[in-house]
Amino acid sequence: MPEKLVWVGTSWKMNKTIDEARAYVRTLLPHLPMPGVQAFVLPSHTSLAAVRDTLPADTPLLLGAQNAHWADEGAGTGEVSMRMVKDAGALLVEMGHSERRRDFGENDDTVGLKARAALDHGLIPLICIGEPAEVRTAQMQEEYVLDQLREALRLLSPTEARRVIVAYEPIWAIGTGGRPATTEQIAPVMQAIAAALTEVSDGCARGTLLYGGGVAASNAAELLRTPNVDGLFVGRAAWTAQGLLELLRIGSAHAEASAAH
C-alpha cells in the first residue's frame, strides 16, 4: 500500500443489520478514494461478507473484522477464526480493544496469540492499547501501554512488527462517558509508542500508529496534527456514512497540507 496515507476508519461495534451495512457502504463508495487517505471499516461478523460483496473488485475501502480467535478451528463456541474472517472479506483484524479486555477476558497473552495468527493468515493486526483513568491519574500511562504493546508483539519478527497497525485508545476517553483527550495529553504517549515500534522493527520504518478515543469532526484536525499520529480510529462519530465522510475529508485536507510542507 502507498506510504504516507492518512488512515481514517471506524468499527461499527454491535450496530447495523446487513441491509443497514450495505446502505452505509453504498453511500460511501461514490466519494472514494479521497486523496491521501486510506479509508477502512470494521463491520459486525454478520455483515462482513455482505459488505465485501457490495464493494467493487478494485475497491479503495479496506474491510476488517472486530475480533477473531487465534486457533484455525476447534471447539470455540461463539468464536470465529482468522481464516473465517479472511474468507468473509477481512484484511484487518482488531484485537485488544478495552471492551473485549473488560467484558470478555481478552488479555495481553491472547492479543499476542491473535497477532501471530493474523499474520500467519495474511491479515493485518490492528492492535488496541490504552490505559484506564486510574493509571493516567498515577502518571503511569506510558509504562502501561508499552507493556501492552511489547506483549502484543512478542511473537513477531522485526519485519512482521512493521506490518501491524497500533491504535492508542485511552480508556478514559472512549464512549459516551469519556472525556476527549487533548494533544498535550496524548503526544508524549504517541511518541513513546512510536519509539517502541521503531525499536522492535530494528530501527526501520515502523508500523502505522492511529489515535482513537473521543474522536469527532470538531477535534479530528487537531488530533491529526499531533506528532506520530498516522490516522484516526473512530467510534460513534463515524457510525453514519456522512460522519465518516466528513472525517475522511478532514484527513484528506491534512494529507494535502502535510505534503505541501
Report the range of poorest mean pLDDT among 17-21, 80-84, 104-108, 118-122. Answer: 104-108
Contact 165, 7 (CB under 8 A): yes
Q: What is the DSSP string of 108-163?
A: HHHHHHHHHHHHHTTPEEEEEE---HHHHHTT-HHHHHHHHHHHHTTTS-HHHHTT
Q: Which residues are catalytic?
A: 97, 169
Please state the domain extents for the chain. 6-260
CA 237 to chain centre: 15
Tens of pLDDT along 60-107? Answer: 999 999 999 999 999 889 999 999 999 999 999 999 999 999 999 999
Per-residue pLDDT band for 1 (boundaries 50, 70, 90) equals very low
CATH topology of domain 6-260: TIM Barrel (3.20.20)
Q: By C-alpha distance, which of 91, 87, 1, 79 is closest to 42?
A: 91
Give Cβ neighbours of residue 26 (< 8 Å, ≥ 6 apart).
54
| pLDDT at residue 261 tops 80 | no
| Count of CB atoms situated within 10 Å of the CB of 133 | 13
Give the integer Cα–Cα distance in Å for 214 and 174: 6
Tens of pLDDT along 173-197? Answer: 987 777 888 999 999 999 999 999 9
Percentage of the chain beyond pLDDT 70 is 99
**Backbone Cα Rg of the chain:** 17
